[in-house]
Chain A
């Protein structure tokens, strides 16, 4: 298997990473620059709306576009009707290509680049950019000599997240028939029943992830400075005429392609199929999804809180590196975690229960455990930053007033952290709702979620029937993305 299929897996995976990375970087950095530093019609709307593509899972965008743009889809039908000579049936374009998948990844994942880049330009880089202008630089000079060098760590961090999502994906590549590491793991495990090969592929994939993480850390280390040091944004370039039109187009196009078009298409399908699809089974799917996501969210927060407190109170290297390893799950592709959890569960089953029955493997418990492994970092980061905002003073005040650490935790810190805890749990819930590869491998028999069902229907050529479940995922994710974006935007009160 290794010699025949591996080169293809590696080639395709690298191609997808480079393609998606380039698209996400161009769109994300370009949109961040426009929104933060230029004035043009619709800027304030684009500013938050450009986050929305994050609510569309890549696998969902993949099958919607396949249906829209494929040979039998409306786009090519219209082309055949409009373009003279094309109606003979000779005109067709195969969209089920790796290039299309790469671009789609870029279009739904670019907010990972856009958000940190915009935050930097709006909140930190302003004085430096204005100084560059006053020293005589035009827009391109400011971009090349100051904005890009300052934004490099933010851009690299964003691109790293995009690439990890690409490595994690199973649904989009599977749907487009592009063999990668993740589909390889699935194939080895499900089709060939070859757990050894699955583990080996997972190991190689992990190696790629580590190289990625190391590269990201290394480039951060090469910077000779720490932090931008400034505060606030810069005066905006006022765009008029063609310049303004180009800016609007640059922001509107990814928003249309990455969010509006898939959602509109899904709504159109959903209106048609909802009466047939939304039934008792649909309610059960929703309850399954919410139950799994809720349990994973609560458990992740329950682990994140002591972890965050521990890293704050005890700064010894051992604890810090333990915490870092615990948080690494987010960069590990779901399929790898699934294989890891599965082999562990099987081993435990064999040792404790003699291998006669599967006690751990294939249970809801193993699935939730795997979710927590993967999404612990998502819960940890809001808790950590919430703790940072509270600072040490209140804790010290409480302690000097005679409260024990535990009493301080319940009387002072947890109440003040409430917002962060809710945000942490909600983020995990949304990630679990969208999650596909891990769920597909680890779910118990006959347990379906909104995501697995929607994907299953789409792969069975029942794309329109998949819409109600898909829309429910997108709608809840959109609300969370928008609300969190607003709350992050609110100026933080400093004591």
Chain B
């Protein structure tokens, strides 16, 4: 069986993609980016949607452009071409450019980027503005409780474990109730037990807060319990997208199939059956 190499213009094996209705949380069309001095596009015309309340995972090998995609959505890079809409509002196109601080996007960085000079409380309170002090403290404590951090409010980041730091980063990004939640490789550099625990916590946190989420990982295994939809990125283009179960049955090519390799292991299969149900 030979399949033609899929390209971004291919009709994708997608289950009914949430189109760019005004209510879509994120709509990306024809996004292109090349860094100065590079000899190929970091992103070569990407279309992507995240529906309201959906968790979409972008999966790809390192260097495929997934972090660039996230930074473009956040407004930390400027696209060469294409448009980005967040919550129905155009934030980047040929004639529109909204600064990152005005996009209402929450992001958790790979290395958390907690402010080392502020306490846990003040880190979480950082993005809360336009509310009274009591309201703000209430909201911070609510977020800390939600993340099991209420006893750590007065600590500084360096006094916390890696897992606790990540939960502070999550609480900080979600506290201002963003329109879209971005996660950059949330499980890199973690040992397995911690990783599994955080995956479960993160899944329940995202479901409870109902924030549409775009999560970027290099290992599909990291998002089987999390993602409603998976987008496979290769060399700056989307090669495949759909539910995990769907892609597992019909990966299309060896690149995509490679991401499922580990899931086919005895333990992995259990995940697939669960998420396919």
Contact = CB atoms under 8 A, between A and B. Distances in A.
B106 interface: yes
B152 interface: no
Interface of A: 127-128, 130-138, 145-146, 149-150, 223-231, 234-235, 238
A135 B114 CA distance: 12
A127 B74 CA distance: 13
B156 A127 contact: no
A137 B77 CA distance: 17
B86 interface: no
B84 to A, nearest CB: 15
Contacts of B113: 127-128, 130-131, 230
Contacts of A146: 115
Contacts of A128: 113-116
Chain B contact residues, majority secondary structure:
loop
Given A127-B111, A130-B100, A134-B100, A225 B116 contact: yes
Nearest to B103: A134
A230 B114 CA distance: 9
Contacts of A133: 76, 99-101
A138 B158 contact: no
A229 to B, nearest CB: 6
Chain A contact residues, majority secondary structure:
loop
Interface in B124-141: 126-127, 129
Interface string B104-124: 011101011111110000000
Contacts of B29: none
Which of A135, A225, A227 is most buried by chain B, counting CB atoms within 10 A of its CB?
Answer: A135
B172 interface: yes
Interface string B66-87: 0000010011111000000000
Contacts of A231: 111
Nearest to A141: B101
B76 A230 contact: no
A235 B116 contact: no
A145 B117 CA distance: 10
A224 B71 CA distance: 31
B115 A226 contact: no
A230 B111 contact: yes
B176 interface: yes
A283 to B, nearest CB: 46
A231 B112 CA distance: 11
B101 A134 contact: yes
Given A131-B115, A135-B126, A150-B116, A229 B101 contact: no
14 contacts: A130-B109, A132-B126, A133-B101, A134-B101, A135-B106, A135-B176, A136-B102, A136-B129, A145-B126, A149-B115, A225-B157, A225-B158, A227-B116, A235-B76
A134 B74 contact: yes
A229 B117 contact: no
Nearest to A129: B113
B100 A224 contact: no
A128 B114 CA distance: 6
Contacts of A224: 117, 156
B176 A136 contact: yes
Nearest to A39: B78
Which of A136, A137, A150, A229 is most buried by chain B, counting CB atoms within 10 A of its CB?
Answer: A136
A136 B103 CA distance: 8
B106 A150 contact: no
B127 A136 contact: yes
Contact of A131 (B78, B99, B107): B107
Contacts of A149: 115, 117
Which of A130, A150, A228, A238 is most buried by chain B, counting CB atoms within 10 A of its CB?
Answer: A130
A337 to B, nearest CB: 38
Contact of A229 (B99, B105, B107, B111): B111
Contact of A132 (B71, B105, B115, B116): B115
Contacts of A150: 115-117
Contacts of A223: 117
A263 to B, nearest CB: 32
The 9 closest A-B pairs by CB, nearest first: A135-B127, A127-B113, A225-B116, A235-B76, A131-B113, A149-B117, A133-B100, A133-B101, A127-B109
A136 B156 contact: no
A360 B115 CA distance: 56
